[in-house]
Structures are given as C-alpha cells and as structure tokens.
C-alpha cells in the first residue's frame, strides 16, 4: 500500500459568509456571562427558543423570500413563457399577497415542522432545547390557522392525529456556526407532504459519472417528479455522499438555498461543492420538458442546485429533492445582541404586475356550470382537448384518502356508491383551520395519485366521474376514464389562500365529521381555475411530457 496522505481537515459542507438580512425578534432571554479562562458565554433561556420558533413558523406560513417572489414575477415578464406558465405564476403571486395578510396560510398543508440548529461551544442553555423549540411549534400551530397533519402510531395499523402538529423534527448540532463560538444558528422549514414525497434516493455506480450518462439519468428521473408537489420548483441534486442519509439531508438543505455559499470547485480536502455549469445545463434540460409550471411551458423549475459530495468507492448515492411553490424556510440566529430571524417579504404586492385577464388569454377559458346534471357536465367537457383551461362554478364534493378507503369498504360490502359522488365532481383536498368570518381555511388541492387505486372501482359504480386535484395520474386512471367516460381536471397546486378567499363560498360536512379535515365535505365554488388533464378519450396531457427526448449528452 502507498503511504498515507498527511492529515488535513475540512468540513463536508463548508459555507461562506452569511449574507442574510435579519430582523430583531427580541433581546429578552439572552445574556452574556464571564466564564473560566477569561471566556465569555452566551446564555439562552428556553423562552427565547420558544419565542423564536413560534415567530419563525408564523412567518414561513405567511411570507416568502423576496428572491422567490422575483422569480415568479420574471415568469410573467418572460415572452418565452407559455400562457399557462404566466397564469400559474400570477395566481401564485396573488396567493402570496393574500397569505401575507397573516390570516390564511399560503398552503393548506402547513407541513411538518423541521428545525436544524448549530450551537456554538460558548452557548449555554438548560439542555431542554428540543422541548423549548417544540413548544414554539405547538404555539404556532395551535394559535394560527394552520393544519394538524401529524399522526401518532398507536399500533402498527392504527393511528390518530396528534391535534397539535407535533412531533416536530428537531436536529441540533454542537458546532460553532460560521466560526462563532457564541452564536446559535437555525434553519426553520415547513415541509408539506406533497413536496416531501418528491425526495428520491438512487443507489448508482461509477458508471453514472460521465456527462452523457448523467444527463440521460437526470432527464429520466426528473420527469418522474411530475407536478404533484406544485412547481415551479427549486430543484436540488446531490451526487455522492458518505452515506445515503447524508446525501438526502444535503439535498433537503440545498433545496432551501441553505448551501448556496458552498465552494464551486473540489479539492483533495474532499469537501462538497456546487457545480454551477451542471446546474445551468440541468435547468435548461427542464425547460425543454414541456411540463412547465404545472400545465405546459418552460417553468418546471425556478432554479437548480447541484452538489457534488465525496463518496465511498463502492457507492454513488444520488439524492433529489424539491422545494415547492410554498417555499417555506427561514434562517435565524441568537447572538449576544439578541434573537434574530430572516427578514421575509411582507409586501408581496409590489411584485404583482399591471396585467389584465385578457393578457392571459382569458378568452380561451371554458366556463363550466357544476349545478348541471353529471351527464351534461361530462358532455360539455368532452368537447375540449386536454390542457384546456376551465373556470368551475357550483358544488363540489371534497374527499381524500381516509374517506375514499371508507367508501371502498362500503362498496366491497355490497352497498351502493354514495349519491353525492354520483351527482358531483370530487375535489381531492383537506382544508386548514377556518378563520372567523371566512367560509373556509386555506383549501388547495391534494396530490391526485394517492387516490389512483380507487378510480376504477368508483367509476364502475357510477362515482368519481369528474375528479379535481393536482399532479399527474397513473395509466390505470387514464384507462378507467376512457372506459367509463370520466375526466380528471388539474387544479393549480399552491394558491390555497387565494382559493379560500376568492373561490370557495360555502363549506359544509356531508359525512364522517369525526375525521376532521379528512371528512367528506360539500363546497360551493365560483370561478375555480382548472385544466383538463385526462379526458374520456384516453388522452393524458402528462403522458407526452414524461417521455424522454434527450439524444445528446452534456457539452
């Protein structure tokens, strides 16, 4: 064997200076005390951690980063963007403006609370940091109009909503953040199920590490992400890693722009780095998918981060993650000067363009009256091709996972399809809490694919003939719609606050009230935006845009 290399150390993810703009949350609960050897220590009370967390979870539910909003505006201003790209971007900007009012959260899936912290060696707490942070999560979710999504496993098969959105995922590290021993720094995230479900791990080999094969691999895998997680995405790709779980975690951080200040070249210190050239090439690759901002166009992604990590010679993990249109994260810090939180945009209206509906090809919108009999609604939809933009007005039935399972059990027992699923289109959704004076809380669409297994059974029994949700469906759904004369309509993923304020006029429980947000609801909508995605002729918009077309490798 050759002689060992000289010892050298570099952090796996060395980041540059912190360029974040912060705002002061409080200067209470922090102090500086003298310690042995002339050292000075920052003391942090549990109440300061709780207050910071509650404030952070509030902000990321209602506000976005200025850079994200600027990217949405740039889609509207881009002459190469498709009309559907611009329509989605404008709807997301309007949604951000409503959410910034602090009443309706930007997305109905207010997410799993994820907190990562790095505590410097001269920071003293009472040791209950995770509990204090969790208390802040609890305060935010129980006091605000947010949704409880966490399920406690009671047995292997039985589970129950915790009623508080706890537990949070809290990860704390003993590390001087940015070289400061008297600082405590954090990343706060709210990760919805649709976005989290689009995290992927692939175990590859050295054979992947050449330009042609890499681009072929990425085209295949990135198309599979689909639109269920509400694009345009902030896409992160991590190649390599000391373990599979480290690759996945790095991808999550990169999707939150937390690793933007990584080096842009590698070295024999074996640290991670960003490949800016590959980032640009992958972004252009996604521009050519045709998927666009959900319903055709260029803007499948806002941007791309590619991080290259060291690896064991026998392993080459590849992790892919996205941050969705509810781009919910903020960094924070506690220093001797106080408790600080990233300044998010509280006035997103300044990113709204002076644009009329006519400029968005509003003349091509087909208005559908949902008060008509189901056969008439289907006959109307049958006149138009996939990708047609619709405006829906009238009653919808709302049902998703648990309600579908219960109805399937009834069908299996020989009971008839509930009349409400025969008479009305079904919207896959689950609302957040309803603020006082509102018809509903934030009420955006759920990932359609979770209900795919029920479609054939339900349509054969005369129900679910028109479905409304977000994202692509499986081939079995397309076949069922062709066989039974059904339709799947895509709703814009992301603008849950705007739908609640502008489109949903009445909400009532039809069945299973004990299921909370998973109950069967009946809602009245007005000018609810949608697109024909799967029709009664077996056409599926997403079937074409998921086919690889790349014929050349990386230049």
pLDDT tens, residue by residue, 450-500: 999 999 999 999 999 999 998 889 999 999 999 999 999 998 888 889 999
SS3 for 517-539, per residue?
HHCEEEEEEEEEEEEEEECCCCC
Q: What is the DSSP string of 192-228?
A: -HHHHTT-EEEEE-GGG-SHHHHHHHHHHHHHTT-ST
Q: Give the pLDDT score at 553.
A: 44
C-alpha–C-alpha distance, residues 95 and 460, integer Å: 37
pLDDT at 360 over 70: no
Q: Give the pLDDT score at 495.
A: 84
Phi, psi for residue 40 in degrees, rounded to 5: -115, 135
Q: Give the pLDDT score at 237.
A: 98
pLDDT digits (tens, 9 = 90+) for 295-324: 889 999 999 999 999 999 999 999 999 999
What's the average model confidence in pLDDT over 22-28?
97
User: Residue 2: pLDDT band by 50, 70, 90 thresholds?
Assistant: low
What's the average model confidence in pLDDT over 17-25?
96
pLDDT at 544 over 80: no
C-alpha–C-alpha distance, residues 98 and 326, integer Å: 13
Q: Give the pLDDT score at 353.
A: 87
How is the chain split into domains, by residue range? 13-191+326-354, 193-325, 362-534
Nearest to 304 by CA among 255, 341, 340: 255
201 contact partners, CB below 8 Å, separation of at least 6: 244, 247, 248, 317, 318, 319
pLDDT digits (tens, 9 = 90+) for 120-152: 999 999 999 999 999 999 999 999 999 999 999
User: Residue 546: pLDDT band by 50, 70, 90 thresholds?
Assistant: low
Cis status, amide bond into 509, omega within 30 of 0: no
C-alpha–C-alpha distance, residues 152 and 166, integer Å: 9
Nearest to 351 by CA among 77, 536, 62: 77
pLDDT at 551 over 50: no
- Above pLDDT 90, what percent of the chain? 84
- Above pLDDT 70, what percent of the chain? 96
pLDDT digits (tens, 9 = 90+) for 363-407: 579 999 999 999 999 999 999 999 899 999 999 999 999 999 999
pTM for the whole structure: 0.87
Q: What is the mean pLDDT of the chain?
A: 93
Q: Is 362-534 in CATH node 3.40.470.10?
A: no
Q: Give the pLDDT score at 95.
A: 93
Residues in the chain: 555
Residue listed under structure tokens 């175990």: 203
What's the average model confidence in pLDDT over 99-109?
93
Q: Give the pLDDT score at 555.
A: 39
pLDDT digits (tens, 9 = 90+) for 159-202: 999 999 999 999 999 999 999 999 999 999 999 998 999 999 99
Alpha carbon of residue 132 to chain centroid: 26
pLDDT at 1 over 90: no
User: What does the longest C-alpha to C-alpha distance in the chain come to?
Assistant: 83
């Amino acid at each position: 064997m050759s002689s060992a290399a000289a010892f050298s150390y570099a952090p796996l993810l060395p980041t540059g200076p912190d360029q974040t703009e912060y705002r002061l949350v409080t200067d209470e609960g922090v102090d500086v005390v003298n310690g042995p050897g002339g050292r000075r220590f920052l003391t942090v009370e549990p109440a300061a951690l709780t207050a910071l967390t509650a404030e952070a979870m509030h902000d990321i539910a209602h506000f976005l980063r200025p850079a994200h909003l600027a990217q949405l505006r740039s889609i509207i201003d881009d002459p190469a963007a498709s009309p559907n790209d611009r329509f989605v971007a404008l709807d997301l900007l309007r949604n951000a403006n409503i959410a910034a009012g602090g009443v309706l959260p930007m997305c109905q899936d207010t997410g799993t609370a994820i907190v990562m912290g790095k505590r410097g060696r001269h920071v003293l707490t009472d040791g209950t940091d995770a509990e204090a942070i969790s208390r802040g999560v609890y305060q935010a979710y129980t006091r605000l109009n947010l949704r409880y999504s966490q399920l406690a496993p009671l047995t292997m098969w039985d589970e129950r909503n915790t009623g508080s959105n706890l537990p949070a995922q809290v990860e704390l590290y003993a590390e001087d953040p940015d070289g400061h021993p008297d600082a405590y720094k954090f990343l706060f995230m709210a990760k919805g199920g649709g976005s989290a479900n689009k995290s992927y791990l692939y175990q590859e080999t050295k054979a992947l590490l050449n330009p042609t094969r890499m681009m072929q691999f990425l085209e295949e895998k990135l198309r599979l992400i689909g639109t269920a997680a509400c694009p345009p995405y902030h896409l992160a790709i991590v190649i390599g890693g000391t373990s599979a779980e480290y690759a996945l975690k790095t991808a999550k951080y990169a999707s939150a722009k937390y690793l933007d200040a990584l080096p842009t070249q590698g070295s024999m210190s074996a640290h991670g780095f960003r490949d800016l050239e590959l980032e640009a090439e992958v972004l252009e690759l996604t521009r050519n998918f045709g998927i666009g901002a959900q319903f055709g166009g260029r803007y499948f992604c806002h941007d791309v981060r590619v991080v290259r990590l060291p690896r064991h010679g026998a392993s080459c993990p590849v992790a892919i993650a996205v941050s969705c249109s509810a781009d919910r994260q903020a960094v924070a810090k506690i220093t001797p000067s106080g408790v600080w939180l990233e300044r998010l945009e509280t006035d997103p209206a300044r990113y709204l363009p002076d644009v009329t509906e006519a400029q968005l090809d509003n003349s091509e919108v087909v208005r559908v009256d949902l008060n008509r009999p189901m056969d008439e609604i289907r006959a109307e939809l049958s006149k138009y091709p996939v990708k047609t933009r619709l405006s829906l007005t009238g009653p919808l039935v709302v049902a998703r996972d648990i309600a579908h399972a219960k109805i399937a059990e009834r069908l299996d027992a020989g009971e008839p399809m509930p009349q409400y699923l025969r008479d009305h289109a079904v919207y896959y959704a689950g609302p957040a809490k309803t603020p006082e004076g509102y018809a509903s809380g934030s009420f955006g669409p759920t990932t359609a694919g979770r209900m795919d297994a029920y479609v054939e059974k339900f349509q054969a029994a005369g129900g679910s003939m028109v479905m409304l949700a977000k994202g692509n469906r499986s081939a079995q759904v397309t076949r069922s719609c062709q066989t039974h004369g059904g339709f799947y309509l895509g709703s814009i993923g992301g603008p849950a606050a705007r739908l609640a304020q502008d489109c949903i006029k009445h909400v009532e429980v039809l069945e299973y009230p004990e299921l909370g947000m998973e109950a069967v609801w009946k809602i009245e909508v007005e000018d609810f935006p949608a697109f024909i995605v799967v029709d009664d002729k077996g056409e599926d918009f997403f079937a074409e845009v998921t086919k690889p077309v790349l014929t050349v490798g990386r230049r």
